[in-house]
Structure 1
Amino acid sequence: MPNSSTQEVIITWATPVFFALIALELLVARWRGRRVYHASDAINSLGLGVISQIVAVFSKLLTLGIYAWCVAHLALFALPADAWWVWVSALLLYDFFYYWLHRAGHEVNILWAAHVVHHQSEDYNLSTALRQTGSGVLLGWIFYLPMALLGYPLQVFVVVALIDLLYQFWVHTELVGRLGWFDRVFCSPSNHRAHHAVNDRYLDKNYGGILILWDRLFGSFVEENDDDPPIYGTRAPLRSWNPLWANAEVYWATLKDAWHARRWRDKLLVWIKPPGWRPADVAARFPKPAFDIQRERYSPPLPAALVVYGVVQFALLLGMGVHFLDLAKRLPASGLLAYAGFLLLSLAALGVLMEGRRTGFWLELARLAATAMLALAMDGWFAMTQPTVSFAIAAVYVLGAAVLVALDRWPVRSTDSELRTL
């Protein structure tokens, strides 16, 4: 029967399909004369997707372990995994509980701190679908425990969760318009565009994963309006390409507010109140700028050649990320942790570089040198024993360092921005 290993295999094999569809979306957008991708934003989104999968390798012991224990010891019924009605009802129940998790992720600050990652992009495209949180595992699993208590087998839960997740990929696009009756029943591109918008009209609406019927039933539905086109992002913009900071920013802001709050009650409330709520004394002493929907998008100017460099380096890291997932069952925990740490720090260094900051140059140069030395010192890159692989990796990253140093002398011109590359 399907299990968590099957889920990993499916996600791994689905990755090329995701990227093929992203390429198709980019081509169709160009054919229509539209620009829906910006390189740094897309790299940031995809990097956050890589991080979420890295975290999932370690977190499944918590999430699936707790679920399996509850099914074995607390389930009210022993539901058969080979009955069609179990699968259909499981998918409906999972989507129902997903609706409430998703809604709570917009209404409870500590849950928003995890979910905000998915909303930070100021673009709306298929790469946004892969922009997932690395900290959702902390509390998100609680919402699905009723399925374990009802007796839905672990293998059923794993597969319907994957179906619900994969379905939501295609709705993250601006290139698919209204779909008539489909929009009234299912989560669709039109419905989900409204969900990602920061316009007053659309704020905190359309939470459904597969079915939009939950929103219609519980009063959280809004229809996309052509007279008020969605503007994407968050009301407190991230303004960074560092994926580690993207995961931490709301936690850090909330922690600071809790620290500054004078009343102990407020120190707790700041975590469970809706996003944006701040104790009166904290808001007075540490004011934040008002939300401006007309704000300029975050896009530090970069030489076009440096953008190409970033895309190539991210592609290499993406390949390593797939390799990491393939090793998840075979590499010792210490090796997996070391590999995960390398990938996280590498993605962060590349993100800071794409911000156009001088610190990013030195971090990236150090990353390239460390990667080359690590490949040679390990006599094989994480479970790869062929010496040629070590030398090839070292050579690629030495070449990358040489290119980076050359690009450091490349002047940034106002017309030489990444906005002209995609």
Structure 2
Amino acid sequence: MEAYGQILLIAMPAFFVLVLFEKFWGMWKGFDTVPMNDMISSLSSGVTNVTKDVLGLSIVVISYSWLHSKLGFFDIKATWLVYVIAFFVLDFAGYWTHRIAHEYNIFWNNHIIHHSSEEFNLACALRQSISQIVKIFAVFLIPAAILGVPPEVIAVVAPLHLFAQFWYHTRHIGKMGFLEKIIVTPSHHRVHHAINPEYLDKNYGQIFIFWDKWFGTYQEERDDVPAVYGVTRPVQTWNPIKINFMHLWLLIKDAWRTESWRDKLKIWFMPLGWRPADVATKYPVQKIQDVYHFEKYNPELSKGMLVWSFCQLIVLLLLLSYLFGNLAAIGTPGIFFYGGFVFLTVYALTELMDRNPHAWIWEVVKVGYALYFVVATGDWFDLSKVLPGAVSIFVVYLLASVFISLWFSFRKEKLQLAS
């Protein structure tokens, strides 16, 4: 937990700077692929994901350490060759977990957030799941366990493997020559994120593309088929917490509504998109029929609201850095209360961006939640011991936050009445 938090203290600013670099590069080149509202939503999703992971809010059904102790036929040392083998094994496992997430209803809920952006940029790489509560990934590492790859090697290689998937989420890099035959490139991954019929369910590879070529899921990017991004059932929200559970909620409703007991069980394990016939007829859901002619989700936001939303994100990243840098000092249950504030902030922020007329209520709840801890303890999780006077600044921020959120909410209502 603490080690991962320390890694993120370095990784988060690096990713943030790269996301901003891509935006400014696109603006300079006249090809901006990073709309501000999409970027804020994506970064907010990344915030919820890393918070969930650092706090350990998941259940590991089978740990790699247990598999290693039970299945390992060899006792090998952690040499450089072992690290290389572990990297390949992780990528093989990643290919299959990724493919399964796209092919079965029950697993898609854990992955929909990553595909929910209707843009393709570095920021959308940070759209990662908080709904994956039960983790079964270790099952796919059985080959590594049998080979005797030490658990500490997997612990080191896994974050590196994850971070190495960031760079190819961009539209600013074309095809890369001979590398297209070996590694996953931006061209390959643009295909994967596209909803064009020619591109759907292709290119599941995470680092190496040859898995797709070997297992029949490879598709080259075509000049005559420009990629269109998103999901065929558009999410229609900037709120990453809602997106994380919307597919699960649809499955629950469909399972409840169908009159067939067989379908109530069957729906979870059927191919992605399958719905009971009686429910699909009675309760249709919006689905994009023509990928070249649909309106992207883009509620009208003033420049002031966009600037304020970005400022909220910056404050949240600073507060999150304090949490990750002081996990041991804050301790439990404090870190979980702090995590609650992070999630409330993201929810309130993105509800306001969605122009939800009740967004201000979530802001009031967030501020009330934070002020309770400040008043009850006279501090914000010992922040004043690290930065004297910071708690006063934090309280001023909270009061300004709720006031500005109310102003934007009621101003929006007036605009609606005027129209």
- Distance in 2 between residues matched to 1:41 and 1:221, nearest whole Å: 28
Q: Give how far 1:108 is off.
A: 1.2
Shift of the alpha carbon at 1:285? 2.2
One of 9, 13, 33 as aligned partner of 1:12 = 9
- Alignment-derived partner of residue 352 in structure 1: 351
| CA apart distance, 1:331 | 2.8
Following the alignment from structure 2 to structure 1, what is the Cα–Cα distance between the partners of residues 202 and 328?
39
- How far apart, in 2, do the equivalents of 1:166 and 1:363 lie? 32
Q: Structure 2 unaligned runs (5+)?
A: none
Taking the aligned partners of 1:231 and 1:61, their CA distance within structure 2 comes to 33
Alpha-carbon offset, residue 61 of structure 1:
7.6
Q: Shift of the alpha carbon at 1:229? A: 0.8
After TM superposition, give the deviation of residue 5 of structure 1 in Å. Answer: 4.8
Matched, 1:84 2:83: no
Aligned to 1:419: none
Moved more, 386-395 or 108-117: 386-395
- Paired with 1:143 and 1:45, the residues of 2 have a C-alpha distance of 29
* Aligned mates of 2:268, 2:311 — CA distance in 1: 40
The amino acid of 2:255's aligned partner reads A
**CA shift for structure 1 position 72:** 2.9
After superposition, what is the alpha-carbon deviation per residue over 1:104-163, rounded to whole angstroms, capped at 9, x for unaligned? 110011111101110001111111111101123523424434133442212111222112
Aligned to 1:215: 212
- Write the deviation string for residues 70-107 of structure 1: whole angstroms up to 9, x where unpaired: 323442322212x2221111111110110011111100
Q: Any gaps of 5 or more consecutive residues in structure 1?
A: 415-422
Contact 2:192 / 2:200 at 8 angstroms: preserved in 1?
A: yes
- Contact 2:110–2:244, Cα closer than 8 Å, also in 1: yes
How much has 1:57 moved relative to structure 2?
2.2
2:377 aligned with 1:378: yes
- Please point out which of 103, 124, 135 is paired with 1:128: 124
Q: 2: distance between equivalents of 1:74 and 1:61?
A: 24
Q: Contact (CA 8 Å) 1:303, 1:410: kept in 2 or not? A: no
Alignment-derived partner of residue 107 in structure 2: 111
Evaluate the alpha carbon distance shift between residue 87 and residue 123 of structure 1 in structure 2; reply closer, same or farther with a 3 A threshold. same
Is 1:54 aligned with 2:51? Answer: yes
Q: CA deviation at 1:181?
A: 0.9
Q: Name which of structure 1's ranges 67-76 and 204-213 shifts more when overlaid on structure 2.
A: 67-76
| Inter-partner Cα distance in structure 1 for 2:377 and 2:240 | 27
Shift of 1:39: 2.0
- 2:243 corresponds to: 246
CA contact (8 A) 2:234 2:286 kept: no
Q: Distance in 1 between matches of 2:357 and 2:12?
A: 33
Q: Percent identity?
A: 34
Provide the C-alpha distance between the structure 2 equivalents of 1:32 and 1:266, rounded to a whole number of angstroms. 52
Deviations 1:212-261 (A, max 9, x none): 01111111010111211111110111111222111110110011111122
**1:27-56 CA deviation, whole Å, 9 max, x = no partner?**
110111112122222121111111111111
Q: Which residue of 2 aligns with 1:324?
A: 323
1:373–1:394 Cα contact (<8 Å) kept: no
After superposition, the CA RMSD in angstroms is: 2.2
266, 269, 273: which one pairs with 2:266? 269
- Contact 2:2 2:54 (C-alpha < 8 Å) held by counterparts: no
Kept after mapping to 1: 8 A contact 2:105/2:271: yes
TM-score (norm 2): 0.91
The change in CA–CA distance for 1:334 and 1:65 in structure 2 (over 3 A counts) is farther
Question: What displacement does 1:409 show?
Answer: 5.8
Matches of 1:220 and 1:18 in 2, distance apart? 29
CA distance in 2, matches of 1:210, 1:360: 40
Match of 1:97 among 77, 93, 98: 93
* 1:321 to partner: Cα distance: 1.9
> 1 CA distance for matches of 2:86 and 2:5?
20
Q: TM-score, normalised by structure 1?
A: 0.91
Determine the structure 2 residue equivalent to 1:39.
36
Supply the distance in 2 between the matched residues of 1:391 and 1:351 (Cα, whole angstroms).
26
CA distance in 2, matches of 1:48, 1:182: 31
The answer to which of 339-348 and 136-145 deviates more is 136-145
